[in-house]
Structure 1
Amino acid sequence: MKLRGKQKRYLRAQANHFQAIFSVGKNGLTPEWLAQLDGALNRRELIKVNILQNADVTTDEVRDYIESHSDIDVVQVIGRVLVLFKESDQPEFRNVSLKVKKI
């Protein structure tokens, strides 16, 4: 889903109070990590990912990897934290995406 400015602003506001539920550590970026991330986004649609201090990758590398290997949207990058959004494949979990489409 291609997000407009108002939609990104809404998603950033919604994710403001979230805690990061995924981390990128010294194992780096793997297809298995991306598959787990995709599964979590199918249930929640909006999450935060933290890049740990011992990670061998930069924030830009993580963003590029996620955007090039999946249909996940990077909404915002704050320091070493990324806010990610993806519309759920399952209709019963589409809470956030329905509100985003109305904006």
Structure 2
Amino acid sequence: MSLAGFQRTYLKGLAHPLKPVVFVGKEGVKDSVLAAVEEALLIHELIKVRFLDFKEQRKDLAKALATDSQSELVGMIGHLAILYRAHPEPEHRRIQLPKKKPKKSE
């Protein structure tokens, strides 16, 4: 799944009021962190992950976490990564992504 720019913008807007649900500490991305991300994505579809101790590696870690969890890295805001993965069952999806770019109102 690859997201278009307007879909990423839409998801960033939805993620704005969310609190981080997974924290990556000094141990890095371990199996327990990946399991927590998997569970959170299954429940919420859109989550924030906070990196506590990583400055230079956080972008690489966020990309690796997205790849390992088969989710999309929507964006990075400081020490926060926003991840999205649609629920595997369409009838249980909470988020409906826009199909077309919204037209600008004049």
TM-score, structure 2 length as denominator? Answer: 0.82
Structure number with higher relative contact order (C-alpha < 8 Å, ≥ 6 residues apart): 1
Runs of 4+ in 1 over 6 A off after TM superposition: none
Pair 1:2-2:10 in alignment = no
1:56 to 1:75, Cα distance in 2 relative to 1, 3 A: closer
1:58 to 1:80, Cα distance in 2 relative to 1, 3 A: same
Unaligned runs of 5+ in 2: 101-106
Task: Give the conservation status (yes or no) of the 8 Å contact 2:86–2:93.
Answer: yes
Unaligned runs of 5+ in 1: none
Identity across the alignment (%):
30
Provide the rounded CA distance (Å) in 2 between the counterparts of 1:37 and 1:87. Answer: 13
Superposition pairs for residues 1-103 of structure 1, below 5 Å? 1-52=1-52, 54-55=53-54, 58-96=57-95, 99-100=96-97, 102-103=99-100
Deviations 1:44-98 (A, max 9, x none): 000111111x3587212212311332311010101110111001124453011xx
Structure showing greater Rg: 2
Task: Give the conservation status (yes or no) of the 8 Å contact 1:48–1:84.
Answer: yes
SS in 1 for 2:97: helix
Give aligned pairs, total.
Answer: 100
Provide the rounded CA distance (Å) in 2 between the counterparts of 1:92 and 1:36. Answer: 23
TM-score, structure 1 length as denominator? Answer: 0.84
> Which has a greater percent of helix?
1
